[in-house]
Amino acid sequence: MIVGVLLAAGAAFWTLRAVRRAGGNAGTGRFVLLICAGVSVLALGVYIINGHPELPGGAYAERIAALKQRPRETYTLDEWLAVLADDARINPSDPWPHLATGEILLRGRRPQEAARAFDAALRRDPRDADALIGVARSIAEIEGRFTPEALAYLEQASAVTDDARPWVYRAMAAMQSGRDADARQLWGEAYTRMSRDDPRREMARRFSTGQQP
């Protein structure tokens, strides 16, 4: 509101100055100034009535509220990010909005931003396996391989979850670097953690015995 008032005053000043430079008399200048002041007051009144100055980002908040009424399967990537950012604002200690943001960004080929989102989730829960795996995947996407830093995150994830995913990624990294014995052992660890209906189970079994899938 204060900025609006200052801008209106500045506009009036420059308009009056322009009139004087153009040769206008004092009466004309006062008339122009009166018109500017009236427009400013009118604009300010409209803002106070409709702009909800007491609500920071009122219009944005209304758009987010409307967006949350829609089926989530209709969201675009940017709409998902906006909703998740609002969820993170409402629940600042919850890692989930940051996890979901990281996953969406990673699938959208924005790994640097994804890494930051997963790191934000880790700051809220340092033992969150999904966040640890997410950071590792983001680094691998950025670097084109599972670096030692990425593998360190996967090792941490392996220690806090029975999920097969960190073992699968570690096995893939071992295969890529030609560490066949390590790869077989890691595939075996992944295999023992997979459910019977896991579609990766047969592949993991074959790799763990040195066979081709």
Report pLDDT digits (tens) over 56-67. Answer: 445 778 888 888
Segments making up each domain of the chain, as ranges: 2-50
pLDDT tens, position by position, 128-178: 999 999 999 999 999 999 999 999 999 999 999 999 999 999 999 999 999
Burial class for 132, CB neighbours closer than 10 Å (0-12, 13-18, 19+): buried
Close Cβ partners of 102 (under 8 Å, ≥ 6 residues apart): 114, 115, 117, 118, 121, 131, 134, 138
Q: Would the pTM of this model clear 0.75, i.e. be above it?
A: no
